[in-house]
Structure 1
Amino acid sequence: MADVEMAEDKQLSALMAFRNELLSHEGSVSMFRAQHQDLLTRGACEALAEASPELSAKRRFSRPQLITLWSIGVLILIAALFSFRGVLVGLNAAFILYGLALCLFRLSLVANIIREARPRRIRNTEPLSDDALPLITILCPLYKEEESLPNLLGALDRLDYPREKLDIKIVLEADDEFTRKAAAKACKPGKYDVVIVPEGQPKTKPKACNYALWSARGEYIVIYDAEDRPARDQLRRAAEAFAVLPPTVACLQARLNYYNREASWLTRIFAAEYAYIFDILLPGLTSLGAPLPLGGTSNIFRTEALLAIGGWDPHNVTEDADIGMRLAAKGYTSRMLDTTTLEEATNGLGAWFRQRTRWIKGYMQSWAVHSRYLPKSPAHALTLHLVIGGVIVASLFNPIFWVLYIVWLSGIVDLDWLFPAPLGALATIGFLAGNLILLWLYMLAPMRRRWHDLVPYALTSPAYWVLQMAAGYRAAWQFITSPHYWEKTEHGAGLAHEEIAERDLEAST
């Protein structure tokens, strides 16, 4: 522990010294950053892993975790030598009980909906004058997004926030020639700070954000992706909310959804899923006092809290979910902000499949990292093992259980020994109740946004879940072979605000 603390002090003190010097520096920020490129690059890649290796996904598993996993595997094999069927019944029972726990959690989400018919808002906020508004840094990490850049800049121009109170950083990779050329033409010096991230591994979005983090001048930091179209008053609402919230609230997560949801069956189900996640699941976790697995964009952080935990994990390909858990581990909380950012949903199956692979792989990384220490509370364990862990279990083990359960019910093969009473009854309850509740939530979520046209498509969600299971096995393979590989999500140029349906813009506010 002493070694960890010394590493943390040495690494973070060097970065903090750079930051303090930069904030008082009156010359060119980009030139000053270039002079300290080696420090920033090393900090972006290794600060967290060196300071707190137990909280970094640089390693898949820690040594104690590997010993535990191998021990469990050996015990199962030894038990199977004595009673192979008994071991299978035990594993089946464990899976069924886990499924019932998921059912109870989903029922708690239903209860939260009944209890709070309207979305919970942060209370007692007061409008702030322009002079009273804090400085906010906007990080826009882009890679091969030259077509998206003009509409992104248009979305930023549309924000109802004083321009002099915005520190906008367009964060680009050194090898991204075309986006760099587009930014050189479109991003006026003084209005935008174009940050060039040096080449090196890992080549991930969180590494790029880390590189820009230590030169952020804002009291708060928000992430916007290339295709984001945030509600016009989003930052003003965030500033007003932070003004009345305790300093332990380190992050406000805006709701996310899609403006191109009507493009195909896939985008419609994707939009229903996002409505469930950001309008039901995350608010439900908030009401339970549980950590939030954050979205990858439109999360507004207190800069000092972000610096205190070492920034993002550059080795985690779902740095958003990870940082929500890491904030909670350090005593911070996150809240939902009742405003929406509209994005562009991936419309092709191949692009969706690659994106979903990365998300599930990142959840595997996050679960592995945050299983290295005891949860701070039952609510912390709930997010880790039922939300993050639930995605992993559903992706990898649901196909096996579904096949076994259907074969048992059909009687094609005698599997009564695998589902002895009362296990068979519990399996039926878990299978039917768990899937029906989730299906109902997928239908309810878009209805709460008055997107009634999505409800019939939500009924086809089981087919969507099968696709996720396939992505889960690909994610497991990548977790073993290339855990830090970032599969970029391909997008089009996106829509400008004036091209988005008026009803969607209304829903985004």
Structure 2
Amino acid sequence: MSVWSEPGGFGEGELAGFSDAGQAFFHHEGEVLQSSKVRDDEDAVAALLREAVLPPDIGFLVGRGIATEVLYQAKTIADECGGYAADILIERGYVTSDGYYRALADELGVPFLELKDLKPEPDLVLKLTRADLPGLAVLALESRGEGMEFAMAPRPASIAEVLRRAKSDVRIRARLSIASPDSLKRAVAIHGAVHGLEAARPEYSAARLGGRSGPAGALRAAMLVLMLAALVVFAPRVLMGLAAALFIIGSAARFCAGLHDGREHPLRRGKTPGEADWPPYTVLVPLYREAAVVADLIAALQRLDYPAHLLDIKLVVEEDDRETREALTRNLPGPSFQIVVVPPGGPRTKPKALSYAMRFARGELVTVFDAEDRPDPDQLRKCARLFASGPPSLGGVQARLAVDHAQETFFTRQFALEYATLFDILLPWMSNHRLLLPLGGTSNHFRRRALDDCGGWDPHNVTEDIDIGIRLVRDGWQMVTVASTTWEEAPLTFSAWLNQRVRWHKGWLQTWLVHMRRPGQLWRDLGPTNFLVTVLLFAGTATALIAHPLFIGLVALYAIDHKLMPQLGGLADLTMMGAGAISLVAGYGAAVFAMQRAARLRRLRVRLGDWLALPFYWLLMSLAFAIAVVELVWRPDHWRKTRHGVARGRLKHGLRRPRE
């Protein structure tokens, strides 16, 4: 197979292509290399024709460590097959792709650039067009001094033209470098993954909230921190009144969801795909320091019941994560599985890895699993049927997440109750009412077209799931849930739980700040009902997490000595205190009601202590939120890693399914 025809090669919006053996590169509309007609090197061409020995795509390799008879043999095979000798040499291992293009750079007397040296122009994503395979692949580099420099990975068909023109014009050689096709492809892919959303749809990007966006972004995040602090210190009555209202509204919604039986309403029924009609399905699994769970992960993915030739499983790993890469290489089972190595660059986040891997995905449908996931084997078929039978506007499907070692620690029990309430009760209820869904970070399934339309994942948002769910709905796509479970590993300890919860809260704040840049536009995009849902999800959650410790503090003061309570001063204070008491009762009552229903559906054993510990658990969430607010200013892109493979009691058989 040619190195240029492998899956995930240069695609639309990724590389500039130039046909006619590279003519357009050397006469680029008079914009960059404004050379007049380049003088032909007639003597060199005539000498090559006189010898009539080797084609130009391998002629320059003579004397560079490859036996002459091997070069002749490659020429003979290429002549018989109608291909190029250079491709034959690379495919059969006589020379590596890097070695071939390094030799070409040496022949031209220009630099050879490795991946780490390829720095594309910042606005490259918006400038590039579809690659023209018969010509050249050219990457505009960051300007150094006057004029723009280029890295080139010419096809064998263009080698003769490159040699002739570059050798005869010093102005071309002064601005030209050579790179391998793979390096060029990966440089463009990582550039697109990091900057693609920001360049194409800046209003959806969290890049300008902080971090590399500089003082302005950090100032906006700092203003949020100061505003929240001011509410607590100077306007506690306003805060508690607002929190009470949101508490009561949220509790009412949670109570209504608790009445739901957990079943999804069927979409418009269509024809179930036959064996010949199943669409190609890409499974993305981002991994970082996950060597301990690789074997279990591969086993879980092998149990997926989907036509093997249509499965495109991308195991996405960071370049410096050598231990995980080696574990994947040892356990890689077959052609459906491919390791995608993410080059360094930009924030080290899960959404950046997903965005990079999408450049090489070939599925019409795409799903994301985490390292510790064990999806139901029929999950892909169920989702493919939903997409086939549902309306064309169906852009995403969320499967249910559940904890398979709920009884191990206090935190796994609370986590299991949360997951059961959210994924078995609340989300199906919201789906049935066509409401915006707060997606989970795994087991969400998408149409490829929907992902492309909304710009893909934001590498600067550390909760990419909820963000992309909102963008899909804003762009007119529908989201639903499916009755299929993915089993996960929950954090065992407080430190592990805190890391995960801080990341979630920080990402929710990022998402809220991004989408509230233009509230009026958000209202128009979502409609009144879904706009209210986003307010309850984000502002309601944030306000509740801030006010809850204040409510608890007042109750504690009253329990210790009612004289310690702040003296009430009039009807406003009495109303505020009454609303606070009602909101606490309503909040706890609705939560316990919904959790009890969810626990029964998921067949979880719940202890009395788990219910009594809810106030303490919610106080811990307030602590995590406070840390997230501070971290939003100082480390907005920082990804708090959750360690997997440490649970001792994960069930391997007889997993509990919710009652239908």
TM-score range, shorter chain: 0.7 to 0.9
Larger radius of gyration: 2
Secondary structure at 2:465 match in 1: helix
Secondary structure at 2:315 match in 1: strand
CA separation of 1:395 and 1:66: change in aligned 2, threshold 3 A: same
What is the Cα deviation at residue 154 of structure 1?
A: 0.5
Cα distance in 1, alignment partners of residues 581 and 398 from structure 2: 37
Question: Which one-letter code corresponds to 1:386 in the other structure?
Answer: L
Do residues 166 (structure 1) and 311 (structure 2) align?
yes
Aligned to 1:283: 428
Do residues 489 (structure 1) and 634 (structure 2) align?
no
TM-score, normalization: structure 2? Answer: 0.67
Cα distance in 1, alignment partners of residues 635 and 191 from structure 2: 21
Secondary structure at 2:209 match in 1: coil
Q: Percent identity?
A: 35
CA separation of 1:455 and 1:252: change in aligned 2, threshold 3 A: farther
The one-character-per-residue Cα deviations of 1:124-169 (angstroms, maximum 9, x if unpaired) are 3654332221110011110011111111110111111111010111
What is the Cα deviation at residue 274 of structure 1?
A: 0.5
Question: Which one-letter code corresponds to 1:444 in the other structure?
Answer: R
Question: Which one-letter code corresponds to 1:194 in the other structure?
Answer: I
What is the Cα deviation at residue 404 of structure 1?
A: 3.4
Counterpart contact for 2:242–2:543, Cα < 8 Å = no
What is the Cα deviation at residue 489 of structure 1?
A: 0.5
1:470 to 618, 623, 627: 623
CA separation of 1:119 and 1:390: change in aligned 2, threshold 3 A: same
2:251 to 100, 103, 109: 103
What is the Cα deviation at residue 431 of structure 1?
A: 1.9
Cα distance in 1, alignment partners of residues 659 and 320 from structure 2: 35
What is the Cα deviation at residue 71 of structure 1?
A: 12
Question: Which one-letter code corresponds to 1:427 in the other structure?
Answer: G
The one-character-per-residue Cα deviations of 1:68-89 (angstroms, maximum 9, x if unpaired) are 9979989x99x9xxxx98x554
Cα distance in 1, alignment partners of residues 555 and 649 from structure 2: 48
Question: Which one-letter code corresponds to 1:44 in the other structure?
Answer: A
Do residues 59 (structure 1) and 208 (structure 2) align?
yes
Aligned to 1:383: 533
CA separation of 1:458 and 1:8: change in aligned 2, threshold 3 A: farther
The one-character-per-residue Cα deviations of 1:388-412 (angstroms, maximum 9, x if unpaired) are 3333223333212332355468342
- 1:133-144 matched pairs, under 5 angstroms: 133-144=278-289
Cα distance in 1, alignment partners of residues 439 and 267 from structure 2: 18
Kindly indicate whether structure 1 or structure 2 has the higher relative contact order, using CA contacts under 8 Å at least 6 residues apart.
Answer: 1
Counterpart contact for 1:169–1:194, Cα < 8 Å = yes
Cα distance in 1, alignment partners of residues 186 and 431 from structure 2: 39
Aligned to 2:6: none
Counterpart contact for 1:231–1:508, Cα < 8 Å = no
Range that drifts further, 308-317 or 447-456: 447-456
CA separation of 1:402 and 1:159: change in aligned 2, threshold 3 A: same
- 1:8-407 matched pairs, under 5 angstroms: 11=125, 14=128, 34-60=183-209, 88-111=236-259, 113=260, 116=261, 118-122=263-267, 124=269, 126-188=271-333, 190-373=335-518, 374-375=522-523, 376-404=526-554, 406-407=556-557
Counterpart contact for 1:272–1:454, Cα < 8 Å = no
Question: Which one-letter code corresponds to 1:334 in the other structure?
Answer: M
What is the Cα deviation at residue 341 of structure 1?
A: 0.3
CA separation of 1:104 and 1:267: change in aligned 2, threshold 3 A: same
Aligned to 2:654: 502
Secondary structure at 2:407 match in 1: helix
Larger helix proportion of the pair? 1
Question: Which one-letter code corresponds to 2:496 in the other structure?
Answer: A
Secondary structure at 2:395 match in 1: strand
Secondary structure at 1:285 match in 2: helix
CA separation of 1:338 and 1:122: change in aligned 2, threshold 3 A: farther
Aligned to 2:75: none
CA separation of 1:124 and 1:93: change in aligned 2, threshold 3 A: same
Counterpart contact for 1:41–1:211, Cα < 8 Å = yes
Cα distance in 1, alignment partners of residues 467 and 569 from structure 2: 41
CA separation of 1:508 and 1:187: change in aligned 2, threshold 3 A: farther
What is the Cα deviation at residue 308 of structure 1?
A: 1.3
Counterpart contact for 2:243–2:544, Cα < 8 Å = no
Cα distance in 1, alignment partners of residues 602 and 310 from structure 2: 32
CA separation of 1:285 and 1:261: change in aligned 2, threshold 3 A: same
1:446 to 584, 596, 599: 599
